[in-house]
Amino acid sequence: KFHVKLPIFVARQWIRHRTANVNEYSGRYSVMKDEFYVPEHHAIHFQSLGNKQGRREEDVPAPLRKKVLDLLVTSQQKMYGEYEEMLDSDIARELARINLPLSLYTEWYWKIDLHNLFHFLRLRIDPHAQYEIRVYGEAMAKITKKVAPIAWEAFEDHILKSERFSRLEMKVIAENLAGKTFTKEALEAKGLKGREADEFLEKLDRIRND
């Protein structure tokens, strides 16, 4: 179970993983806090040319970064001020909140089993994941590694740092394996011991014969 404080736009990505029990702070019953996410300078990038939901690595000029940050902060302050005005006028909280931006922080308790947590982390600590949710994923990965070290090692070995290949990629690998032999002794010297070595040799045979 994780207690998480996060911007609403990150929460909207996160909640797509429907394998957890979520109990979120509600703006219908409570006054939302005056806390907003403002990106650090290094997190401000141009739109990716090849990915509609990504960022380019190219640096944004300092004056433009400052303009972006000024616009974000000004808008956040204005909208929260209007929110407070409506609350002071006794407008219902569920209505007063509706103009608050996605950068506002929310909180929730997020309860999930280890299997589905590993699936979440595989996607969210990937370098292609959005930077803001990736930061949360990396922090949770450190916690998980400490709490369940043996399971984490298996996750790293068999999921996180493994690769899958397409049929054509397998064909290329098979062509490059032609004439090459691997012994169980040589594999064990590389760290693949016992059943792992046997399974690896079986995989090589399947690649060669498919």
122 is catalytic: no
Strands (DSSP E) found in the chain: 2-7, 21-24, 45-47, 55-59, 105-111
- CA angle 73-37-102, nearest 5°? 90
Catalytic residue, candidates 124, 164, 167, 208: 124
C-beta atoms surrounding 124 within 10 Å: 20
Strands (DSSP E) found in 39-148: 45-47, 55-59, 105-111
Residues in the chain: 210
Catalytic residue positions, numbered: 124
